Amino acid sequence: MRGELAVALSMRHAGVRQVLLRYEVQGPAGAPVVFVAGGISAHRHVSASGAFPEQGWANALVAAGRTLDPARHRILAFDYVGADGRLDAPIDTTDQADAIALLLDALEIDRLQAFVGYSYGAMVGLQFAARHPARLRRLVAVSGAHKPHPYASAWRALQRRAVALGQLQCADAQGLALARQFAMLSYRTPEEFGERFDSAPEIVNGRVRCAAEDYLDAAGAQYVARTPVTAYLRLSESIDLHRLDPAAVAVPVSVVAVEGDRLVPLADSVNLVEGLHGRGQLRVLRSPYGHDAFLKETDRIDLILAAVLRGNGAAQ
Amino acid sequence: MRGELAVALSMRHAGVRQVLLRYEVQGPAGAPVVFVAGGISAHRHVSASGAFPEQGWANALVAAGRTLDPARHRILAFDYVGADGRLDAPIDTTDQADAIALLLDALEIDRLQAFVGYSYGAMVGLQFAARHPARLRRLVAVSGAHKPHPYASAWRALQRRAVALGQLQCADAQGLALARQFAMLSYRTPEEFGERFDSAPEIVNGRVRCAAEDYLDAAGAQYVARTPVTAYLRLSESIDLHRLDPAAVAVPVSVVAVEGDRLVPLADSVNLVEGLHGRGQLRVLRSPYGHDAFLKETDRIDLILAAVLRGNGAAQ
The pLDDT confidence band at residue B311, using thresholds 50, 70 and 90, is low
Q: What is the pLDDT of residues B163-221, one digit of tens each?
A: 999 998 788 999 999 999 999 999 999 999 999 999 999 999 999 999 999 999 999 99
Co-location of A67 and A112 in the same domain: yes
Co-location of B36 and B113 in the same domain: yes
Amino acid at B84: D
Check if A237 contacts B (Cβ < 8 Å). yes
Co-location of A42 and A103 in the same domain: yes
Q: Which of B174, B209, B239 is the last residue of a domain?
A: B239
Co-location of B39 and B115 in the same domain: yes
For residue A175, pLDDT beyond 90: yes
Residue-averaged pLDDT of chain A? 95
Report, as an integer, the average pLDDT of A53-66: 96
For residue B316, pLDDT beyond 50: no
Partners of A2 in beta bridges: A24
Co-location of A20 and A52 in the same domain: yes
Give the minimum alpha-carbon distance from B274 to chain A in angstroms, rounded to a whole number. Answer: 18
Contacts of residue A47, defined as CB under 8 A and 6 or more positions apart, other chains included, come to: A26, A55, A56, A58, A59, A61, A62, A63, A70, A75
Give the minimum alpha-carbon distance from A248 to chain B in angstroms, rounded to a whole number. Answer: 18
Spatial distance between the Cα atoms of A299 and A286, rounded to a whole number of angstroms? 13
For residue B314, pLDDT beyond 90: no
For residue A312, pLDDT beyond 60: no
Contacts of residue B142, defined as CB under 8 A and 6 or more positions apart, other chains included, come to: B116, B117, B118, B119, B121, B122, B256, B294, B301
Check if B94 contacts A (Cβ < 8 Å). no
The pLDDT confidence band at residue A311, using thresholds 50, 70 and 90, is low
Rg of chain B's alpha carbons, rounded to an integer?
19
Q: H/E element holding B151?
A: helix B150-167
Residue among A162, A201, A210 whose CB faces B162 most closely = A162
Q: Which of B200, B216, B239 is the last residue of a domain?
A: B239
The pLDDT confidence band at residue A13, using thresholds 50, 70 and 90, is very high
Co-location of A130 and A272 in the same domain: yes
Co-location of A11 and A92 in the same domain: yes
Query: What is the SS3 assignment for B264?
Result: coil
Q: What is the DSSP string of B36-94?
A: EE--TT--S--S--SSS-S--TTTTTBSTTSTB-TTTSEEEEEPPTTTTS---S---HH
Co-location of B275 and B255 in the same domain: yes
Check if A221 contacts B (Cβ < 8 Å). no
Check if A208 contacts B (Cβ < 8 Å). yes
- Name the percent of chain B lying above pLDDT 90: 95
Spatial distance between the Cα atoms of A297 and A301, rounded to a whole number of angstroms? 6
Spatial distance between the Cα atoms of B61 and B38, rounded to a whole number of angstroms? 12
Report, as an integer, the average pLDDT of B295-314: 84
Query: What is the SS3 assignment for B209?
Result: strand
Cβ contact, residue pair A13, B189, below 8 Å: no
Burial of B213 (0-12, 13-18, 19+ CB in 10 A): buried
CA distances from B149 to A97, B116, B189 (A): 41, 21, 17
Check if A12 contacts B (Cβ < 8 Å). no
- Between chain A and chain B, the number of residue pairs with CB atoms below 8 A apart is 154
Query: How many domains are contained in chain A?
Result: 2
Give the minimum alpha-carbon distance from A241 to chain B in angstroms, rounded to a whole number. Answer: 6
Co-location of B45 and B74 in the same domain: yes
The pLDDT confidence band at residue A255, using thresholds 50, 70 and 90, is very high
Q: Which of B194, B210, B239 is the last residue of a domain?
A: B239
**What does the pLDDT read at residue B73?**
96
Neighbours of B19 (CB within 10 A): 21
Spatial distance between the Cα atoms of A258 and A274, rounded to a whole number of angstroms? 17
**Which residue from A176, A184, A186 is spatially nearest to A225, judged by alpha carbons?**
A176
CATH number, position A180: 1.10.1740.110
Q: What is the pLDDT of residues A222-236, one digit of tens each?
A: 999 999 999 999 999
Neighbours of A156 (CB within 10 A): 22
Please provide the distance, in angstroms rounded to a whole number, between the alpha carbons at the two ends of chain A.
30
**What does the pLDDT read at residue A58?**
97
Contacts of residue B140, defined as CB under 8 A and 6 or more positions apart, other chains included, come to: B114, B115, B116, B117, B125, B253, B254, B256, B304, B305, B308, B309
Cβ contact, residue pair B175, A165, below 8 Å: yes
Provide the b/e sequence for B130-161 (b: ≥16 CB within 10 Å).
bbbeebbbbbbbbbbbbbbbbbbbbbbbbbbb
Residue-averaged pLDDT of chain B? 95
Give the residue numbers of B marked as catalytic: 119, 261, 291
**What does the pLDDT read at residue B315?**
36
Report, as an integer, the average pLDDT of B225-237: 97
Spatial distance between the Cα atoms of A118 and B50, rounded to a whole number of angstroms? 59
Residue among A168, A189, A197 whose CB faces B169 most closely = A168
**What does the pLDDT read at residue A211?**
96
**What does the pLDDT read at residue A316?**
34
- Domain span at residue A28 reads 2-149+245-315
Co-location of B256 and B112 in the same domain: yes
CATH number, position B268: 3.40.50.1820
**What does the pLDDT read at residue B169?**
79
The single-letter DSSP state of residue B121 is H
Co-location of A37 and A103 in the same domain: yes
**What does the pLDDT read at residue A1?**
95
Cβ contact, residue pair B157, A13, below 8 Å: no
Interface of A with B in 111-130 (CB under 8 A): none
Cβ contact, residue pair B150, A197, below 8 Å: yes
Spatial distance between the Cα atoms of B39 and B76, rounded to a whole number of angstroms? 15
Co-location of A179 and A306 in the same domain: no
